[in-house]
Amino acid sequence: MMRQYWWKIVSVVLLLYTFTAGFLTPVPDLGNLHQSIRNLYFHVPMWAAMMTLFSVSVVNAVLYLRKPDPAYDLRSSRYAGTGMIFSLLGLVTGMIWARYSWGEFWSNDPKQLGTAIAILIYLAYGVLRNSITDLDKRGRVSAVYNIFAYCILFPTIFILPRMVQSLHPGGQGVEGNPGLGGDNLDPIMARVFFPAMIGWSLLAVWIASLQVRYSILHEKATNHDA
């Protein structure tokens, strides 16, 4: 039984460590970030959790196209839906951070705009699924759209913002968040940041798996009543 839940225990331990060390350990005084730099332990891991969920979702979408098993379609849709929650959390935590670092919640930064586009694309995925009543057709169309949406994530969030001026680390021409560009991450912060990435990602998978289990139980109960 313990083997089945070990990763959930790891998630809880890592998140407890993230919240405790994230607020108590010292942080470097970099530019205009001040204490808001602690948001690194929450904002960026939300994107890591989102990408984990969207990756599992698109894998199940591909598996459904190869073998139209309703279980693949169910996992694909539920992981995508949970990924949407974490994408919105990532956007909100980013806006809060932007307010303290850049002076406003929304500055039309390329990464903000790219994130908004990606979120709208995945919102359209949910609308598309709900508009199709035929189960097999819904699964196939949703799977194809899911693959398209996943591919769009990379240019909108990771590639294009690095090719133009951006307040985010890695952008061209503008220094946004010094010391947060990856290789030069402060060693003290790294000891909290990487466990946070793993902890939030495991929590995201845990939530998505509960969504899948709930959907299965709900379907069984509905069929039983019928």
Tens of pLDDT, residue by residue over 168-217, are 665 554 454 444 554 557 888 999 999 999 999 999 999 999 999 999 98
In a domain, 94, yes or no: yes
**Domain count across the chain:** 1
In a domain, 2, yes or no: no
Nearest to 169 by CA among 96, 103, 94: 94
pLDDT band at 160 (very low <50, low <70, confident <90, very high): confident
Distance CA 158, CA 130 (A): 29
| pLDDT for the residue numbered 171 | 52
In a domain, 15, yes or no: yes
Nearest to 110 by CA among 134, 94, 128: 94
In a domain, 1, yes or no: no
In a domain, 4, yes or no: no
In a domain, 3, yes or no: no
| pLDDT for the residue numbered 169 | 62
- What the block records as the tokens of 225 is 């009543």
For residue 53, what are the domain limits?
10-221
Helix/strand/coil for 203: helix
| pLDDT for the residue numbered 219 | 80
In a domain, 84, yes or no: yes
